[in-house]
């Protein structure tokens, strides 16, 4: 009996010690998580950045921008977009929600709304008003994004005390990253001869903060109506083609797409403030505004993590205009490197070198200009979707005796008039099959896929098929999807020069992913990572819930 009592006593003491050990460990871990949290997370998206812009221009970059992030941070060299279409709206939504368009619902920059019977903009919302200008540029909200972002989860985790602010020249680049609970999202009113002000939507606030009013009144924006010439001697730009060629668009009012560009002289021919957005100075202006936001909103000044998202849009606009092999794109990225250095130096000085975390990625990449590739005998071409649209309606009318059965063609999708098909007692699936067979007779269309009666994508397993499934939303996507052969663009007047993006090929999907700062290891990997892994990784760093729809995986090899 004595032995039994001794054993019980020993067991109880051991159990108590073990429980105490466990509690100590948990408390230590909690302390570690609190200590490891950055004061500020900065999510940088560089619009239309190919991965090889890191390597191609590496020798020309300074030590404080891209190189610093690579040398002191973590470089995911095989980062991919895992859905189609590769557009700006879906890219920004997927980065910050950790999920593909199949669930977050942003299936393009624009798409055909089946209920409204018209195209809609991914962040357009007529129920709100412009704050900061007298036009429609602020009729914007994130209401079409069906899931939340890691910025939303950080707001929830901090009882709404952690701030979230989104900044971009483009509305969608500012709005989608910070989700539904943001304190603010700001964008530049530059289109359609806009005011040149930084504006927002009444979704966020009733009036602009004083610091934004002061910034708009400062004439900083107007200071960029100046000459755009190369940062270094033009002859030293060896990683791009000839300055004078037939593959670039250029600006109205100037005969050739060649340096230098006098923006003050050209502004009236090119939408005034629009020409700033179309040059590297749009990125400089974005940094100016972001630094002012950090200061005025006191981001990162307490122990509660704040989130700032910055989308640099002018890289995309220069690419669309001049193409990925242009002197203009090389100069834009050399200047982008300086903007990144300026931002990091400011964070060092005002937040603290080991107090913030930055990630840098892109919403999509881009291919070479098809006409340039054709000149090198590489297969590439342009496809006239307007003619295809008319032809398909004529084809179906001759076959079924009903006019205009095709309502829309957008994002490589065909939308059929279900109401008319039902009224005419036609077989929807049979019409889809007929369309698919007809589309496959086109030279530049390589593959065609159908949706089922409940609008699920009917596709066998394969790389492109998986990307299409991830980009397909049952309620919002079309009835028939088609895929071009590589290096094929939609034929429009503005696509004949410069680049575009939409596909699931590597030239559109391979984008950079750099992590830097507090909680981040130094290193690199060639393991495949996806755009949807970013939000779970940052959520894990912060010790918060993943975004509500996230399917991506935390990249544990990135984190300390």
Residues marked active site are found at 88
Whole-number average pLDDT of the chain: 94
> Which domains does the chain possess?
36-369+503-558 (3.40.720.10), 381-485 (3.30.1360.150)
Among 235, 312, 240, 234, smallest CA distance to 57 is for 240
User: Residue 445's beta-bridge partner residues?
Assistant: 484
Asked if 532 contacts 363 with a C-beta cutoff of 8 angstroms, the reply is no
List pLDDT tens digits, range 477-524. 999 999 999 999 999 877 889 999 999 999 999 999 999 999 999 999
Separation of alpha carbons 486 and 422, rounded Å:
36
Separation of alpha carbons 538 and 543, rounded Å:
9
* Burial of 6 (C-beta count, 10 Å sphere; 0-12/13-18/19+): exposed
Q: Is the pLDDT of residue 276 over 50?
A: yes
pLDDT at 20: 40
Asked if 97 contacts 535 with a C-beta cutoff of 8 angstroms, the reply is yes
Q: Is the pLDDT of residue 437 over 70?
A: yes
Asked if 459 contacts 396 with a C-beta cutoff of 8 angstroms, the reply is no
Q: Is the pLDDT of residue 282 over 90?
A: yes
What is the three-class DSSP state of 150?
A: helix
What is the three-class DSSP state of 355?
A: coil
Tallying the residues shown for the chain, one arrives at 560
Separation of alpha carbons 383 and 191, rounded Å:
28
User: Residue 279's beta-bridge partner residues?
Assistant: none
Asked if 154 contacts 305 with a C-beta cutoff of 8 angstroms, the reply is yes
Q: What stretch of H or E contains 305?
A: none
Phi, psi of 216 (to 5 degrees): -60, -35
379-380-385 Cα angle (round to 5): 140
List pLDDT tens digits, range 3-61. 444 444 444 444 444 344 333 444 554 555 567 799 999 999 999 999 999 999 999 99
| 3-state DSSP of 462-528 | CHHHHHHHHHCCCCCCCCEEEEECCCEEECCHHHCCCCCCCCCCHHHHECCEEEEECCECCEEEEEE
Separation of alpha carbons 532 and 552, rounded Å:
5
Structure tokens that stand for 44 in this block:
């940088």
**What does DSSP say about strands 184-188 and 164-168: parallel, antiparallel, or unpaired?**
parallel
What is the three-class DSSP state of 51?
A: coil
pLDDT at 488: 97
Q: What stretch of H or E contains 40?
A: strand 40-46
Q: What is the DSSP letter of 124?
A: B
Q: Is the pLDDT of residue 355 over 70?
A: yes
List pLDDT tens digits, range 96-115. 999 999 999 999 999 999 99
Among 168, 166, 148, smallest CA distance to 157 is for 148
Among 360, 361, 358, 362, smallest CA distance to 520 is for 358
List pLDDT tens digits, range 454-477. 889 988 888 899 999 999 999 999
Structure tokens that stand for 463 in this block:
């790389």
Overall average pLDDT of the 234-260 stretch: 98
Q: Is the pLDDT of residue 212 over 60?
A: yes
Among 191, 192, 194, smallest CA distance to 216 is for 194
Structure tokens that stand for 408 in this block:
């829309």
Is the backbone of residue 32 left (phi > 0), alpha (psi -120 to 50) or beta? Answer: alpha
User: Residue 307's beta-bridge partner residues?
Assistant: 41, 164
Q: Is the pLDDT of residue 144 over 50?
A: yes
Q: What's the pTM?
A: 0.94
Separation of alpha carbons 160 and 2, rounded Å:
59
166-171-172 Cα angle (round to 5): 85
Structure tokens that stand for 495 in this block:
């696509």
pLDDT at 34: 60
pLDDT at 458: 87
Is the backbone of residue 470 left (phi > 0), alpha (psi -120 to 50) or beta? Answer: alpha
pLDDT at 558: 98
Asked if 195 contacts 135 with a C-beta cutoff of 8 angstroms, the reply is yes
Query: Largest Cα–Cα distance of the chain, in whole Å?
Result: 104
CA end-to-end span of the chain: 52
Separation of alpha carbons 345 and 65, rounded Å:
9
State the residue for tokens 């009733």. 206
Percent over 70 (pLDDT), the chain: 94
Give all strands of the β-sheet with 457-458 in edge-to-edge order: 406-410, 413-416, 480-484, 445-451, 457-458
């Amino acid at each position: 009996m004595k032995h039994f009592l001794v054993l019980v006593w020993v067991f109880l003491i051991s159990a108590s010690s073990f429980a105490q050990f466990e509690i100590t460990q948990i408390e230590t871990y909690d302390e570690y998580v609190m200590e490891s949290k950055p004061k500020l997370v900065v999510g940088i998206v560089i619009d239309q950045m190919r991965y090889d812009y890191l390597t191609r221009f590496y020798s020309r970059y300074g030590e404080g921008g891209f190189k610093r992030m690579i040398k002191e941070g973590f470089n995911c060299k095989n980062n991919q977009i895992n859905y189609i279409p590769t557009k700006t709206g879906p890219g920004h939504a997927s980065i910050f929600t950790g999920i593909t368009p199949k669930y977050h619902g942003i299936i393009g920059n624009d798409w055909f709304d089946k209920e409204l019977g018209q195209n809609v903009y991914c962040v357009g919302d007529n129920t709100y008003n412009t704050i900061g200008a007298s036009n429609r540029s602020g009729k914007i909200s994130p209401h079409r994004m069906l899931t939340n972002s890691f910025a939303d989860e950080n707001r929830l985790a901090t009882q709404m005390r952690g701030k979230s602010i989104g900044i971009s020249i483009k509305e969608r680049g500012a709005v989608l990253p910070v989700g539904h609970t943001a304190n603010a999202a700001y964008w530049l009113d530059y289109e359609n001869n806009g005011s040149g002000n930084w504006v927002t939507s009444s979704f966020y606030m009733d009036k602009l903060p004083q610091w934004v009013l002061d910034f708009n009144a400062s004439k900083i924006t107007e200071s960029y109506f100046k000459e755009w010439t190369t940062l270094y001697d033009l002859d030293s730009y060896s990683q791009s083609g000839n300055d004078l060629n037939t593959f670039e668009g250029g600006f109205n009012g100037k005969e050739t797409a060649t340096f230098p560009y006098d923006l003050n002289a050209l502004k009236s021919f090119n939408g005034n403030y629009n020409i700033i957005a179309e040059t590297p100075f749009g990125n400089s202006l974005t940094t100016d505004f972001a630094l002012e936001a950090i200061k005025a909103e006191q981001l990162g000044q307490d122990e509660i993590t704040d989130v700032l998202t910055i989308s640099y849009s002018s890289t995309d606009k220069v690419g669309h205009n001049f193409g990925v092999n242009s002197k203009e794109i090389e100069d834009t990225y050399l200047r982008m490197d300086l903007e990144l250095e300026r931002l990091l130096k400011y964070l060092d000085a005002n937040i603290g070198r080991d107090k913030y975390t930055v990630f840098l990625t892109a919403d999509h990449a881009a291919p070479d200009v098809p006409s340039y590739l054709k000149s090198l005998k590489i297969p590439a071409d342009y496809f006239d979707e307007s003619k295809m649209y008319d032809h398909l309606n004529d084809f179906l009318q001759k076959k079924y005796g009903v006019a205009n059965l095709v309502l829309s063609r957008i994002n490589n999708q065909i939308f059929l008039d279900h109401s008319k098909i039902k009224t005419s007692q036609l077989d929807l699936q049979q019409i889809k099959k007929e369309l698919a067979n007809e589309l496959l007779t086109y030279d530049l269309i390589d593959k065609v896929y159908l949706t089922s009666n409940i609008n699920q994508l009917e596709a066998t397993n394969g790389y492109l098929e998986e990307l299409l499934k991830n980009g397909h939303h049952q309620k919002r996507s079309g009835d028939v999807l088609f895929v071009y052969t590589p290096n094929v663009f939609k034929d429009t007047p503005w696509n004949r020069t410069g680049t575009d993006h939409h596909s699931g090929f590597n030239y559109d999907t391979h984008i950079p992913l750099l992590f830097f700062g507090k909680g981040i290891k130094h290193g690199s990997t060639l393991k495949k990572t996806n755009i949807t892994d970013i939000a779970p990784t940052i959520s894990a760093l912060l010790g918060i819930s993943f975004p509500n729809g996230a399917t991506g995986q935390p990249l544990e090899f990135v984190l300390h």
